[in-house]
Amino acid sequence: MEYVKIEMQDRVAVVTLDRPPVNALDYQMFSEIAEAFTRLSQERDTNVAILTAAGNKSFCAGVDLQDSPRRYRPDGRREDGGPRGDARDQVDPGRIARECFGSIYDCSIPVIAAVDSKAIGAGLVLAACCDIVVASQNASFALTEINVGVLGGVRHTQRFVGPYLSRRMFYTGEFVSAEELYRRGVIEAVVPTEELMPTAHALAATIASKSPIAIRLAKESANRVEFMPLKEGYRLEQDYTSRVKRFSDSTEAAAARTEKRDPDYRWE
């Protein structure tokens, strides 16, 4: 992949966005992010991912405004006389963006966003699709679509910051600091830039130490119950407890706790 890098160590995958100068999302980058998180969902070597970005100008400045009109051409060609691409994109130009965001939200392992500098528009959505967000003191978040004559991102932002602040951001296009989001209980931690990745890795290490089967079922369970009514959601959680107890890793977790030793998980 050209714009997305993956590094794996100690059951933690670090996914880095790297499309200078501001990590703006074009068709290829949307596709590569989707490919990266789909791959992580399929593999057994990691228990948690960290989504971060190279450069210090933007975590992600949103959709590439030069590329977007090319995606929305009604003839299915990205340029005059060019070949037609994926037929799905001609009738549904927004498909690739949904696939990208869905790959993070539905990733079978938890994803921690480590945000330094600005997360704008679709860049904010990338963070909002993650399970946990940590940020540097330089980080800020905005939905600036209204300033450039488009709309989008408010539903993910509602999930991220709540209904009222998301509306303010959607209507005004103004930036909100990481400190304000931390005060509102949205962000896990706000730290100096040099402490951002160590903070994300410390959190990831705790998650990575859990049963790989249990953490995947926990992620699936959390996603499924998120928008369910209370009673129905709790009933579904009980089913997931029954599911995880089918595996010997569940027995090993309980035994290790009782015997005060590190567990030996075997994907069984």
Helix axes 95-105, 27-42, angle to 10 degrees: 30
The reported pTM is: 0.94
Domain containing residue 245: 212-259
96-150 per-position pLDDT tens digit: 999 999 999 999 999 999 999 999 999 999 999 999 999 999 999 999 999 988 8
Alpha-helical (H) ranges within the chain are 27-42, 68-71, 87-91, 95-105, 122-128, 154-161, 163-172, 178-183, 193-208, 212-225, 230-244, 248-259
| 40 in the same domain as 161 | yes
Same domain membership, residue 124 and residue 149: yes
Residue 266 maps to a domain = no
32 lies in some domain:
yes
Whole-number Å distance between alpha carbons of 75 and 106: 31
**CA nearest to 123, candidates 146, 149, 97:** 97
Report, as an integer, the average pLDDT of 17-22.
Answer: 96
Examine the domain organization and report whether 136 and 236 are in the same domain.
no
